[in-house]
Amino acid sequence: MATAAVMSGNAANRGFLFRRLHTLSGVIPVGMFLLEHLFTNATATVGPGAYNNAVNAIQHIPFLHVVEFIFIFLPLIYHGVYGLYSAYTSGYNALQYTWARNQLFIWQRITGVITFVFIIYHLWATRFSGQEPNFEFVHNLVSQPANFIFMLVGVIAATFHFSNGLWSFFVHWGITVGARAQRVSAIVLLTLFVLLAAMGVVSLVAFVQGW
Amino acid sequence: MAATEKQLEQAKRTVRLIIERQKDANSEPYEEEFVVPYRAGMNVIAALMEIQRNPVNARGDATAPVTWESNCLEEVCGACTMVINGKPRQSCSALIDQLDQPIRIKPMRTFPVMRDLVVDRSRMFAALKKVKAWIPIDGTYDLGPGPRMAEAERQWAYELSKCFTCGACVEACPNVNEKQSFMGPFVISQARLFNTHPTGAMHKADRFEALMDEGGIHECGNAQNCVQVCPKGIPLTTSIAAMNRDINWFSLTRWLNR
């Protein structure tokens, strides 16, 4: 965290900087990558050829490993590990205070932990499996019921965490300030969650069905 | 005749209270139940005063009277805040007629409990001092009249000025806990109030710095319980988002201007 020391110039501001980097990294680039990933997967609904073409295009990005490390792995690890710490230090009082926003506060943390575990499994089963990523490989993977259920839970948790996290991002960055603006953004972003989750599930089903 | 019957009816009615008590700052809490006679229009403080008058619990055993703090009795001082039926609120404006019985009363455990329902809210005053929640007008010479404040701004700023440091928002906030040092929602709103005042704005940077420091604005997790429990309806979550905007801009430009 060399940038941290430079940016803060003051040890007391470190907490502020770490938190802000956490909300920022969740959207840029991790959230953007999630969207890209969901859209790539959705090409499976068009057919194996479309999916294999999309994967092939990604495989030909120049300096792929560097891009992947800087724009995906590094921010993802930071967001995930700091998020676990943040979930640990949060208090949980939704049994006493049952308002919707307080419930969502807890679900944000629950889905964060689920997504963290899911991503580790997901990376191990696909990215670091040593196998060629193509339609057939994914088809064989998700055709196993246990894998399918794990993928289903992972997709729903990740899309909820992204959509609800984006609501929080807009507050943390002072974009939605008033109560009305925050209410509207909640409706829009929960709709986004439903759409993204549906897209993820439909793609999963397309992988299972084959063609 | 009807009036007498009504009085008789009232004399039979009672109020059941289950109070979480504590002998002193270091002892373990325990629950004690009380049954006190009902009077029309009584509030929680009136019920506590009944216990003071006749310190006998529901089992008929003599006990130490319950201690609590109260002052104004009109919901403007914040001293009598306690957790009543699960929500932090002022016991002076908590009317018995509007509460489910048995009424469960607890001290605000976010703060150190001194005895029974008495808590030490010093941390709130320390937080106000940290963000300089005041307008400095003293000098070694006459500073003259300050700049005028726009009426449109004064109107909403007045709403923020209704904060009486009661502690309800601090009690309800999940991120004010023993694992982190968040100062609480109220102090962010107070910093915004004094930043809005044209004279107070001269110390804007100090308040931003204080809110970027440990326990500052970044420890808010947007659970938004604060705005729900605030007895004065202060738009605390709006204040937090507005200060987020100012502070992010402040920290970013300060870094780029160096």
Q: Does a structural domain hold residue A3?
A: no
3-state secondary structure A69-83: HHHHHHHHHHHHHHH
Residue B69, pLDDT score: 97
pLDDT tens profile B177-198: 999 999 999 999 999 999 999 9
Q: How far apart are CA B120 and CA B196, in angstroms?
A: 30
pTM of the model: 0.93
Across the interface, of A89, A93, A173, the residue whose CB is closest to B180 is: A89
Is the confidence at residue B18, as pLDDT, over 60?
yes
| Residue ranges of domains in chain B, CATH in brackets | 9-119 (3.10.20.30), 122-256 (1.10.1060.10)
Q: Do A171 and B251 touch (CB under 8 A)?
A: no
Return the pLDDT at A131: 87
Question: Which residue on chain B is closest to A167 by alpha carbon?
Answer: B222
A4 pLDDT more than 50 = no
3-state secondary structure of B164: coil
**Per-residue confidence at B145, pLDDT binned at 50, 70, 90?**
confident
Taking CB atoms and an 8 Å limit, are A89 and B177 in contact across chains?
yes
What amino acid occupies position A56? N
Per-residue pLDDT averaged across A78-99, rounded? 97
Q: Which residue of B has its CA nearest to A89?
A: B179
Q: Please indicate, yes or no, if residue A7 is contained in any of the structural domains.
A: no
CATH number where A59 lies:
1.20.1300.10
A4 within some domain: no
Contact A93 B225 (CB under 8 A): yes
Angle between helical axes of A145-172 and A14-27 (0-180°, round to 10): 130
pLDDT given for residue B10 in this prediction: 61
Confidence of residue A3 (pLDDT cuts 50, 70, 90): very low
Section B89-114 average pLDDT: 98
Angle CA(A156)–CA(A161)–CA(A164) in degrees, nearest 5?
115
Number of structural domains in chain A: 1
Residue A168 structural domain: 17-209
User: Average pLDDT in the B80-107 region?
Assistant: 98
* Furthest-apart CA atoms within chain B: distance in Å: 84
B211 neighbors B131 (Cβ within 8 angstroms): yes
- pLDDT value at B142 more than 90: no
- Per the domain annotation, does A11 fall within a domain? no
* Chain A partners within 8 Å of B173 (Cβ): 91
Maximum Cα interatomic distance, chain A, rounded to a whole number of Å = 59
Residue range A136-171, pLDDT digits in tens: 999 999 999 999 999 999 999 999 999 999 999 999
User: E strand or H helix at A16, and its extent?
Assistant: helix A14-27
The CA-based dihedral angle spanning residues A180, A174, B111, B106, taken in that order and rounded to the nearest 10 degrees: 20
The answer to the question of residue A133 being in a domain is: yes
pLDDT, tens digit (0-9, with 9 covering 90-100), for B212-231: 999 999 999 999 999 999 99
In whole angstroms, give the CA distance from residue B184 to residue B219. Answer: 9
Report chain A's C-alpha Rg in angstroms.
19
